[in-house]
Amino acid sequence: MTKFYNVCTRKTITSVNGEKKLYHKVGVIKVTEKGGWFLQLYHQPETDFLIFPSHKDELPVINFDSNEA
C-alpha cells in the first residue's frame, strides 16, 4: 500500500506568554509499494524529487528536543 508522509516547517514564536511552535505543511513524501520514495514540495509544483539512501557518505546527526523524537 502506498504511504504518504507530511513535510512541515517549524517556526518558534516568542511572546510575553512564552514560546509557541507553528507548523506549516509544505509538501508530502510518497512511499510506493515497490519501495520508491518521492518528495513533492508545494512551492515547486510539477516537480517530483526522488530519495535514495546514501551508501558512502556518513549521514548527519539531527538533534531533536526531548519531546519531539
Give the residue extent of every domain in the chain.
1-27+41-57
In terms of Cβ atoms closer than 10 Å to its own Cβ (0-12, 13-18, 19+), residue 28 is middle
Q: What is the pLDDT of residues 26-41, one digit of tens each?
A: 999 999 998 889 999 9
Instruction: Please report the beta strands in the chain, taking only residues with DSSP state E, as ranges in sequence order.
Output: 3-15, 18-31, 37-41, 49-50
Model pLDDT, residue 68: 55
Residue with cell 507553528: 22
Mean pLDDT along residues 34-62: 81
Whether this model's pTM surpasses 0.75: no
One-letter amino acid of 23: Y
Rounded CA-CA distance 41/18 in Å is: 31
- Find where cell 509538501 sits: 27
